Every structure is written in structure tokens, then in C-alpha cells.
Structure 1
Amino acid sequence: MKTGISVKALEKHFNNEKALKGISFKVAQGEIFGLLGPSGSGKTTTIKILTGELEPTAGQVEVLGYSHEAFKKSDYVRSLGILSDNSSLYERLTVKDNLTLFRKLYGTEQKKVDQVLKEVGLESHINKRVKDLSKGMKQRILLCKAVLHEPEILFLDEPTSALDPVTTESIHTMLLKIKSRGTTIMLTTHNMDEATKLCDTVAFLNDGVIIDDGSPDALRQSYRSNAMHITYNDGTTKQIALNLENKAQLEAAMFDANVVNMKSDYPTLGEVFKKVTGKELV
């Protein structure tokens, strides 16, 4: 599979502060890659370098065959879709006018506006002014704006931050559709459930360093322990190793009326992150 994004020993310094400390990763074309970590870990800085908004201090960066020196070229810019904290809409214009302005910049047909709005369930709001929309609706319009020209790579910086579950689900569905068409997607998030659902590969970023990477399932498997977690109705918990020596204890727990839950250890991505960094995701 071809490489869409290649990052080698990337560093970014702001005066005496090192935001990125030599990170390396690759993203295959057509996959969803998640850069995961808490606020301040360096996720947004990485996105801004890959989209040409910031210059790297050191290291090598390549996207779709373009090195960072060529990130300002129009051909490169046209190949990207970007949803970040800098993305905005014209509040006084309607949804239709906003998207029409943007699709004209890329020579996209008007029918594409109708298509993307339908995919996020907002086709009935096409003539509403943006200022009258909810935050969740605006976020979906921004995503429509980012994909109108069918970019080869889509960069998403915290695409569902602070959104309600229904809106989040709608955006997830659209992203999976976009991926199915062959678009490479790189997203940053501290939402590990989102990453588990969407991403083919993830990398844990903490304090400017990538701690571990791999598929969500592979990471969860590699950090599991061979134990059964038992919860009792008084709230107490017990962990029993799964081996023949503990067979009697495990069988007794299965038939104990005071046991309300038994589960093997298969940690969530959030639990894995906490194991490898010692930090909560905030």
C-alpha cells in the first residue's frame, strides 16, 4: 500500500519549548490514522506542519510526495481538506451561499453541495443563515466545506470536540463513507472511543513524543492482562489470574449471588494510554 504521509524525526520548537521531540510515523493511502493524546501533547502542532501552516524545526515531512518546502504550492493545497480550529463560515450567509462560494474556488459542481449536505442530514437547512444554526450543525457544514472538492487527504483536528452524541455519530458515518471512496484521513483526538471506532492505525502522542502505535485492536491486545475482573454488589472488586491454580475461585465466583459483573481484561484505548503514560486523557 502506498504511503500518503511520512514523518521522520519531526521536531518543532517555540523559543525554548519543544512541542515535538523527534516524532516519526507513516500513514497509508486510504486509511484513517489517529494521532491521539491529551490537550497540549502536540497534536495540533503536527497538523499545522502537515498542512503548511507551520514550518518544522527539524526532521523530514512528506505528504502525497510533496516535501514541506512545497506545501505552499497550489496543487498541494488543492489536494487537501482541512477541518481545524481555524476553519470558519460566513455567519450572515446561508448554508448554500457558504458552500457555493467554496465549491467555486475548486471548480466543483453545484450537485456536490446537495450531496454532502444530504450525507450529514442537513439538506433541509440549505437556505438557513449560518448564524441561526447550532454548534453541531456548523461543525457538520465545516466538514462539508472540507470535502466538497473530494480531497486526496483530509486533516481533521478534534472534529467532534464538545458535540452531542447524535451529531458525533452523524460525522462518524460521513467519515467512514469518505474513507470508502479512497480518501486518506488523519485526525487528532483525545476521544479514544472515537479512535477505536474509526481508525485503522493510531499513535499515542504525549509531551511531544510518540509512546506507542499500531491498530486499536493490536494495542489493546498487547496491554491486556490474563485476569478476570470481578465486581460485587457492595462495590468491591477483585482481580483473579486466569490459571488452573485459581480454577476453584473462578468457578465459585460464577455462581456467587453477590457477583454483579465478571469480565476478562481487554482494556479500552483510554486505559491503554493511561497504562503507558500514567496520565488521564483531559
Structure 2
Amino acid sequence: MIRSMTAFAAAERATDGGTLAAELRAVNHRFLEIGLRLPEELRALELVLRERIATRVSRGKLDFVLRLRSPEGAGTLQLNDALVAQLSALSTDLSARFPALRTGLTDLLQFPGVLQSRAVDPAALQHEALALLEDLLDGFVESREREGAKLAQAIGERVDAIAANAAQVRELIPLIRAGQRQKLEARLADLAQPADPGRLEQELVLWLQKLDVDEELDRLDSHVKELRCVLKQTEPVGRRLDFLLQEFNREANTLGSKSVDVRTTNIAVELKVLIDQIREQVQNIE
């Protein structure tokens, strides 16, 4: 399926360490270029993220942004209830032995381990980030395929127009040859010195051969079939289409250079216009 290189996708995922929010956008590029912006907690994932993206995307300039929003209350301190319970039991025992012993709240809170901040498991957070990336890539690829379907339709319409113009040239060629033969015979009839009929026939055949475009039309038909097949392929085809359009343009140029009739000249110009329109669409195909 044809895929566009321009696309955008966004996704979020709630985790124990906070909410992960990711965005992935892409524009046209000859190769694959990936830019990453990550929170400090996930810097270690950079290489893995690049590899995961590259398995699903082959061309385009991509910008991947990953943010981590801390959960509510993440910055507050919490009591270590188990430790406080142990200290309470010890305090009761020690108070019976030392009645004059007094412990202040400040001293209690300063005891190591009594107050704790909420910790985030790095491995769990990385696992959630990779899962979020897969969801994001699913949406991103779907977006590319939707845009690609529109591009394929536009290209298909122009390919149909190219095929129709080539068929029109085939219909005109016999008429043009007959007309050129009549013109040449009329000019020869005006000559003061009669020419050798056999020689004239040879010269006429050679001249008409120079105007023959059957091979160009056959190749053009072959390119049309190939392009239609390429549009149905599932792997990235942007570079293949670039090469194929060069072949299209070569045949159109040859048709124009061999043309001796305004009708075929106009068709050659129309072919070049259609080819350029297809090339504009292909520039956005992965």
C-alpha cells in the first residue's frame, strides 16, 4: 500500500511514574532521519527508540517527542508506616525503662527512612514508554496509509490519462504517415526533373522510419503497466517510482522530438505535464 511521507500521530499512556505523552510527525526527505526529544528519565532508551521506529518507517524526516508528566502528589513526602510502627514499639519499651526520656517530632522525622518520596521504577517506566511507542507507530502508519491512498488515486488518474493519450497517438500515426507521404509526393511532382521512382520510394521509407514512434509507444504502455503494479505493492516504492518517471519522461521527449504534426506535438506536451504532476505526488511517497 502506498504511504505518504507526511504524517502526524499522538498518544498518551498513564503509568505509576506519571503520564507519558508522545508525538511523532514527519515531512519529506530522501532518506530516514529521526530526531528525538526525551525526558531525562528515558535518555537511556534513545538507541532502542530509534531502532523501533526504523523497523516501521523507511523514509522521511521524523521528529519524535516524548514527555513525562509527574503524577499528582509525586512531590509530597510520605511516612514509612512500617518503620514508624517499629519506632513506636521501641519508644513504648524505652519509656518504661527511662521515664525521663523525651523524643521530639522533629527528631522522629529526621530518623533515616521515616520520610520517603515516591520512587519510580526505571525499568517499568521504560517498558511503558516502548509500549506507548508501538501504539503511536500504529496510528502514525495508519495516517501515512490514508494519505497514501489519496496520492495513489491522484497518480492513478494521471496514469490513465497518459494511457489514453498514448492510445490517441497510435490512432493518429497512420493518418499522419499518409499525410506526410502525400505532401512529399506533391513536392516531388513540382520538380522540373522527374526523379527515379524506386529511389524516391526508398527515400520515403527511410524518412517515414525516422518518424516511427511505435517502439516509444510500446515502452510507454509497458511503463504504464509497471506503474500500476507498483502502486499495488506493500513495501515502500517512492524511489522505484522516481526511476520509473525518468523512463516516462524519456519516451515523452522522444515523441515530441519525432513529431511532425501539431496534434502529436500537443499530446507530447500533455504527457510531460501529466508526468510532472505525477512526480510532484511521488515526492511525498515513502
Q: TM-score range by the shorter chain?
A: under 0.3
TM-score by length of 2: 0.22
TM-score by length of 1: 0.22
- Indicate the structure (1 or 2) with the bigger Cα radius of gyration: 2
Which one has a larger percent strand, Structure 1 or Structure 2? 1
Which one has a larger percent helix, Structure 1 or Structure 2? 2
